[in-house]
Each structure stands twice: as C-alpha cells, then as structure tokens.
Amino acid sequence: MTFFTELGFQLPQFPFIAHSRGWSAEDMEKNIDYVEKSQDLRDGARQLAERSVGMARLLVDNVARTGKTTRAGRKATPIKLL
C-alpha cells in the first residue's frame, strides 16, 4: 500500500479484510468453504465498499468544488532552479 499511496492513490480507513484458520489449516477445500460461507467476511467486504464509496464521494466533491486537487509535502513542491 505504501507504493500506491506514494503515487497518489487514496485508501479508505481500514482497507484490509482477512481471515485466518491458523497455521495448521493447510486444507484449501475447507479454506474455500469457510470464506464462501463467512458472514463476517461478507460484512467486512460490504463495510469496506461503503467506506470506499464514501471516500470517493469526498474526493470527487472536493475536485468539483475547488476545480483542482490539493498537493502537499516535499514531493509536491516544484524544484526551483537557481
């Protein structure tokens, strides 16, 4: 994620959804079944989508209101040649 944020991508809060059955659960058939049936993962994906849409709306509204994107930080400052 650091690579993409350095390029200017914006990520919503809590951008990960994950699960773990532990190190000893190496059986892919049961793992796939768990993921497909997990209400917690489904809820997490839905909430991430909602956060993503909310953040996109904020970004689009900002550009529509100001007509430009904001820039900050040392990498956004043009280099002045002497």
What domain count does the chain have? 1
pTM: 0.65
Kindly calculate the radius of gyration of the chain based on its CA atoms and give it in whole angstroms. Answer: 20
How high is the pLDDT of residue 82?
A: 61
Query: Does residue 82 fall inside a structural domain?
Result: no
Q: Is 51 within the bounds of a domain? A: yes
More confident residue, 31 or 13: 13
User: What would the mean pLDDT of 21-36 be, rounded to a whole number?
Assistant: 77
Residue 33 is assigned to a structural domain of this protein: yes
Domain that holds residue 53: 2-76
Task: Answer yes or no: is 81 within a domain.
Answer: no
Give which of 41, 1, 6 is closest to 21, Cα–Cα: 41
35 belongs to a structural domain: yes
CA distance linking residue 35 with residue 12, whole number of Å: 23
How many whole angstroms separate alpha carbon 59 and alpha carbon 8?
A: 12
Average pLDDT over residues 11-30: 79
DSSP code, position 75 = G
